[in-house]
Structures are given as C-alpha cells and as structure tokens.
Amino acid sequence: MAIAVYPGSFDPVTLGHLDLIQRACRMFDRVIVAVSNNPSKKHVFSVDERIEMLENATHGLPVAEVDTFSGLLVDYLKMKKATIVIRGMRVVSDLDYEFQMASMNRRLYSKVETVFLMPDDQYTYLASSMVREVARMGSPLEAFVPPFVAKKLRLKFKIKR
C-alpha cells in the first residue's frame, strides 16, 4: 500500500492545495494531509481550525485523511509507515528550498521519496500568505479558497460582506 504524506501549515487551505491533494489521491492508496503544529510560528488559524477546514475540503476524497504532526517530518513518516512526501512546485523559485528539504529528509530516512506535483496553471501564483493578505484587505476570496474558508477568513479579520 502506497502511503503518501502531504505536509504543510495550510494556513489557510487554498484551492491550489486542494488541487494537489486531488492529484495525489489519484496516484496513491492513502494520502495523509499532515498539518504542521509548530508553536514557534505565528498562524492565523489554530491547528484545530486548520484541521477542520481540511476535513471539510477533503470530505469527498475517500483515500484522503487529515492529521497533525509536530517535530521532524521523517519521524512522522516512520510512525505512519509512509515513504512518500508530496510537495507542490509552483514556480522555479520553489525548487531550491524544496530540493534541500527533500535531500535532508532522504538523508535522515533513506526510504523516503519526495514527489513534486505541479498545480493546475490557474494556481501557480497562489500561496496562503497572499490569501491572508488579500483577506486582510477585504477583497473577494472565492477564486482562491473554498467558500467556507473565505467565510472563516472574513470572520477572522472582521470583514463584513
């Protein structure tokens, strides 16, 4: 059974994330969307809120499940008996960081393989940080995130619409 882990902060989950999750679900027997729990990072949404949004977003994908992890990704992979890491590759500038992470993960856990997936062209520019900024400014969000995430962002930033 091929178990893949798609790790990230998902703060918030975007349509680009969902595109990659759907693609991974067609490729692997089980896809664990793993929300990172890093207390040293400032997140807009709590881990529980991010998990709830992802569970809602992946509801119709039977091979997808949502979980959380803290610490080293390779330790989580070993615990889940997973050997595949899914990473999104939007633009060339992502390559340097992602290549370093993939190399380090393989050095720490020789069984791990990183699979880079390109999102649909319409999502290549999309990043959670940009979505948060657009939300803070009160702009429409539905082109970037599912409607329930747009609603949560408007509530979080106290934007009336």
Domain CATH code at residue 14: 3.40.50.620
Residue 147 in any domain: the answer is no
Ordered alpha helix ranges (H), the chain: 15-27, 47-57, 73-80, 93-108, 128-136, 147-156
Burial 75-88 (b: 16+ CB within 10 A, else e): ebbeebebbbbbbb
Report the number of distinct structural domains present in the chain.
1
The pTM for the full model equals 0.94
Predicted pLDDT of residue 136: 92
What separation in angstroms does the CA of 128 have from each of 57, 84, 138, 141?
A: 15, 23, 15, 11
List the domain range (segments joined by +) for residue 32: 3-120
User: Along the 161 residues of the chain, how does pLDDT read in single tens digits?
Assistant: 899 999 999 999 999 999 999 999 999 999 999 999 988 888 999 999 999 999 999 999 999 999 999 999 999 999 999 999 999 998 777 789 999 999 999 999 999 999 999 999 999 889 999 999 999 998 999 999 999 999 999 999 887 66
Identify the pLDDT of residue 161: 60
Active site (catalytic) residues: 17, 41, 90, 128
